[in-house]
Amino acid sequence: MDRALLVLAVVLCFFALFQVILCIFFLAQLTLLAKKTKELTEVVKKEVSPVAHSLDRLIGDVRDISENAKFQLRRSDQTLEYVHKGLLQATDGVVKSVSVLSTRVLPAVNTTYATAYGIYKGLRFFFDRQRIGKGRVVR
């Protein structure tokens, strides 16, 4: 039984030694991980911070551009509305002018033209009759 206790004591010592070595290895890995994490943090600060700053500036620029675009669209809309109103007024003026021409001026012109044409035809008939009476042939 002494021998069994001795073997058990030796096994427990090896087990304890194995545990200590495992803890030392674990601590060494934690130290290495902390060092790599610190390096990664520095790389992130060095590489990503300018990108983040650039993105922040880009977002600000996009915000300014969108505000400017909204302003320009409002201005364009107002200009188109102004032009539209001007075109409506001009069209209304043309329609009114044509309406006045067709209802007041053109009937008077037609009457004057018809009268002048009637006088022309009458005079032509009269002069043609006189020529025929004198012996001239009208062609």
- Global pTM value: 0.42
User: Given this model, what pLDDT does residue 109 score?
Assistant: 84
> pLDDT tens digit string along 5-25?
888 889 999 999 999 999 999
Is residue 97 scored above 60 in pLDDT? yes
| Length, in residues, of the chain | 139
Between 139 and 126, the higher pLDDT residue: 126
pLDDT tens digit string along 21-35? 999 999 999 999 999
What's the rounded Cα separation, in Å, for the pair 62 and 67? Answer: 9
* pLDDT score, position 120: 92
pLDDT value for 28: 93
Rounded to the nearest 5 percent, the helix, strand and coil shares of the chain are: 95, 0, 5
Residues 6+ apart with CB under 8 A from 56: none
Longest dimension (CA), the chain: 177
> What is the reported pLDDT for 139?
53
Burial (CB < 10 A; 0-12, 13-18, 19+), residue 57, is: exposed
133 contacts: CB under 8 Å, gap ≥ 6: none
Percent of the chain with pLDDT over 70: 94
Give per-residue pLDDT as tens, 51-93: 888 889 999 999 999 999 999 999 999 999 999 999 999 999 9
Q: 138: Cβ–Cβ under 8 A, 6 or more apart, which residues? A: 128, 131, 132
